Structure 1
Amino acid sequence: MNIGRAIKLCRNQKGFTKTKLAENSGLSVSYLTLLEQGKRDPNLSTLEKICLALQIPSTVLMFLAADADEKAGMSTELSEKLSALALSAIGGNDE
């Protein structure tokens, strides 16, 4: 599972800078950087703050964070389509 990659994907899809995500989530830019680089593992309350700030369901973030071996039994094609659909659904900045 690569939570940092998923956070970065969702942040970029929403058009948020790290500064904007930090402001919206109450986390520091340096901590978000460490998360995105995979140097820190967030706890559940931190993930909830990030998901609320990005206005995305935590299940979407977790799906996007899952590695191929964690999607065992799901075809690569289906996984890619679901990932693309999820990113499309969270879309750009709604503000």
Structure 2
Amino acid sequence: MDLGTVIKNNRKQKGQTQEEFARACGITQTYLSQIEGNKKEPNLSTLKVISDELEIPLPVLFFMSIDSEDVPVEKKEQFENIGPKVKALISDFFGV
């Protein structure tokens, strides 16, 4: 799961610096940097604030961060077939 990169890419797409986005989320820039670098896992309430600021529903944020390594072996083929299509649809819909 690469939640940090998904957050970082969407923050940048909104044209916000780490400092601006962190302030809007009520967290420090250092903490946001650690989240975006996948060095810290934020709690659910912080993730909710982040998803609200990004204007992306939390479940969508989670789904966009899933990669094939997160999927059980017996479901990898299915995920690899439909995952990119679903992610593209979500990306188009939410502009992420």
Q: TM-score per shorter chain, which class?
A: 0.7 to 0.9
For each residue in 1:33-61, what CA deviation from the matched residue of structure 2 results, as whole angstroms up to 9, or x when unmatched? 10111111111011011011111100110
Structure number, greater radius of gyration: 2
RMSD across aligned positions (CA): 2.0
For each residue in 1:52-91, what CA deviation from the matched residue of structure 2 results, as whole angstroms up to 9, or x when unmatched? 1111100110001112133435342421122222223222
Equivalent of residue 83 in structure 2, options 73, 79, 89: 79
TM-score (normalizing by structure 2):
0.79
Equivalent pairs, count: 92
> Which residue does the alignment assign to 1:57?
57
Q: Percent identity?
A: 36
* TM superposition shift of 1:12: 2.6
TM-score (normalizing by structure 1):
0.79
Q: Which has the higher contact order (CA 8 A, sep 6+)?
A: 1
Give the 4+ runs in structure 1 shifted more than 6 A.
none
CA distance in structure 2 between the aligned counterparts of 1:53 and 1:32, rounded to whole angstroms: 13
Relative distance call for 1:19 and 1:88 in structure 2 (3 A) is: farther
Q: Which moved more, 1:20-29 or 1:52-61?
A: 20-29
- Superposed counterparts of 1:1-95, under 5 Å: 1-71=1-71, 72-73=75-76, 74-91=78-95
More helix by share: 2
Gaps in structure 1 of 5+ consecutive residues: none
Report the 3-state secondary structure (helix = DSSP H, G, I; strand = E; otherwise coil) of the residue aligned with 1:41: coil
Relative distance call for 1:44 and 1:14 in structure 2 (3 A) is: same
Relative distance call for 1:39 and 1:16 in structure 2 (3 A) is: same
